[in-house]
Amino acid sequence: MSRLKGIAGLVVAALLVAGCSDARGAGERKRVLTTFTVLADMTRAVAGNAVEVESITKPGAEIHEYEPTPSDLKKGAGVDLVLENGLGLERWFDRFMRGGNAKRATLSTGVEPIPIRSGQYEGKANPHAWMSPANARIYVRNIVTALSELDPANAGVFKTNAERYDAQLAEIDTFLRSELGKLPPNHRALVTCEGAFSYLARDAGLREAYLWPVNSDEEGTPQQIAATVTFVRENSVPAVFCESTVNDKAQQQVARETGAKMGGTLYVDSLSEEGGPVPTYLKLLRYDAETVVAGLTGGAR
């Protein structure tokens, strides 16, 4: 914790300096920072070339308990706006922003939260609202508002880009519901490591089970494994899944004890590198839907 406070203090200092000494010319683009790669990709889709967008975290990073690094200081220097998910996802974010002058906006504002069912954060909002394309359309509206307030001269650009992106999200939403809707009734259950798919499961009409509710909570305890094994057996779930940013050891044990197969890696908190399977948010949603369908119907990716 002391290390985190120390790093956060350095970041605050950088933001304070940035707020007092922005040496950019009047014609230079505004700079926007997002807390993780998914939000950066969504923001770039809306911003186009009008605004410079960068993510604090890199592809593959676990977001919940992220510890800002010295290299993040460079990203924070001179930034005009910082976009966060909210819903308790970035527990380090207030420390990152404390004392800084950059504007901030919460992109999940307006989302109807689903409460976490168990564990240390029981009753609090599940933060993974972006895993629902319907919710993502709310995020996009919030991005348009934040960027337009920051850069009114390009408000028309943001609106046009957002309308185009919204249509793509609507198409992905239809695809996701259609693909997951093909699952046989007895296979309509999604079992993952983290409880990051509550919004997607709600949209697609899937029963949901998971080992732990939120990354950084207790992960892979005997009680969690036993409860998940029971769910898989009682519901004859053919495949279980784990996310790219966590260790799948506990889920491997569930698979061994139940005879279910490991259905594949799902992506939630982070995009992949450019050459990877999910370099954009839209590809992430499509990839996850196809992986779940293939795993639960016996197909292979």
The pLDDT score that the predictor gives to residue 11 is: 44
Backbone φ and ψ for 106, nearest 5 degrees, come out as -105, 120
CB 34 within 8 A of CB 82: yes
> What is the enclosing helix (H) or strand (E) of 234?
helix 222-235
> What is the enclosing helix (H) or strand (E) of 150?
helix 133-150
pLDDT reading at 21 higher than 50:
no
CB 129 within 8 A of CB 109: no
Backbone φ and ψ for 184, nearest 5 degrees, come out as -60, 150
pLDDT reading at 112 higher than 70:
yes
Neighbours of 155 (CB within 10 A): 16
What is the pTM for the complete model shown? 0.87
Neighbours of 1 (CB within 10 A): 6
Helix (H, G, I), strand (E, B) or coil at 51: strand
pLDDT digits (tens, 9 = 90+) for 261-295: 999 999 999 999 999 999 999 999 999 999 999 99
Mean predicted lDDT score pLDDT of the chain: 87
